[in-house]
Chain A
Amino acid sequence: MFLASCSHIAVPVTAKFPDAPVELRQECETLTKLASTAKLSTVVIAVTENYVKYAKCKRQNQAWNEWYDGQKKIFDDATETRKFPWIRIKK
């Protein structure tokens, strides 16, 4: 019993998945709406503004995916413990 009481001790290794940058967590801008009496130049300007907003939103979504894929790969590589099966990393 004396010897059997000697089981595992906790390993003090903690790995935390990083927080996403604030820039990537912002909502996309709301698209510009038009009044029914809008002039053609106003319509064209609104279309241009909305195109800019869409392009930014698309890039933000792409950046978000790049961030997640990259961080996941780094995190998975770092917490790989095949060489030390007795160590359980607290995630």
Chain B
Amino acid sequence: MWLLTIFSTFLVHAMLMTGVILLACSMFLGAITFFRTYKFPMQILGFILLGAGLYYEGALAHMASQEKAVAALEIKLKTAEAESLRLNGIIITQKRDYDILVQSKGDTIIKYIHDRSTVIDSKCVITPDVIDA
């Protein structure tokens, strides 16, 4: 189908139409001398053009459906990218919030221990209030 990158759509339609016209002329216009003389070459050329034209018409239709599918997939990928960014945001925010909470709890406990460090160090005992903190 790479040939379709060279052929224009118009050329494919023209190929098919020319094939049909040539075959029709060779079959139904035998009364006219010109068509009677070139009947056989016209039929051969007509069949070739009709065959190639039909093939490329099919290829064009296939390409059109493929382009549609690609467009749909690209939209799907764009949506997925947005969804991915949203998920990133949720995960990072939750982690950050948890870190802040844990750090603040830890800081509170450490401050509490600092305040009671003289008692803890002198008796060499962890008092229950420190454990509860």
**B contact residues around A70 at 8 Å (CB):** 87, 91
**B2/A3 in contact, CB under 8 A:** no
**A49/B106 in contact, CB under 8 A:** yes
**A63/B94 in contact, CB under 8 A:** yes
Q: Interface residue tally of chain B, by bracket?
A: 35 or more
The count of chain A contact residues (Cβ–Cβ below 8 Å) is 44
Closest to A77 in B: B80
Contact A71/B113 with A3-B55, A23-B92, A86-B66 known, Cβ cut-off 8 Å: no
Q: A-B contact count, CB below 8 Å?
A: 117
**A23/B80 in contact, CB under 8 A:** no
Answer whether residue B13 sits at the interface, using C-beta atoms and an 8 A cutoff. Answer: no
**A59/B126 in contact, CB under 8 A:** no
Contact A55/B73 with A3-B55, A78-B80 known, Cβ cut-off 8 Å: no
Answer whether residue B77 sits at the interface, using C-beta atoms and an 8 A cutoff. Answer: yes
**A63/B2 in contact, CB under 8 A:** no
Closest to B89 in A: A21
Closest to B120 in A: A41
Q: Mark A46-61, 1 if CB is under 8 A from B, else 0.
A: 0011011001100110
Contact A6/B126 with A18-B84, A49-B106, A84-B69 known, Cβ cut-off 8 Å: no
- Interfacial residues of chain A within 55-84, with CB under 8 A of chain B in the complex: 55-56, 59-60, 63, 66-67, 70-71, 74-75, 77-79, 81, 83-84
CA distance A41 to B133 in the complex (A): 14
For the complex of A and B, the 4 pairs showing the least CB-CB separation, nearest first, are A78-B80, A52-B106, A41-B117, A84-B69
A interface residues, Cβ below 8 angstroms from B: 2-3, 5-9, 11-13, 15, 18, 21, 23-24, 39-41, 44-45, 48-49, 51-52, 55-56, 59-60, 63, 66-67, 70-71, 74-75, 77-79, 81, 83-84, 86-87, 89
- Some 14 contacts from A to B, beta carbons below 8 A apart, are A7-B2, A13-B73, A18-B84, A24-B91, A39-B121, A40-B120, A40-B121, A41-B120, A45-B110, A52-B103, A56-B99, A56-B102, A74-B84, A78-B76
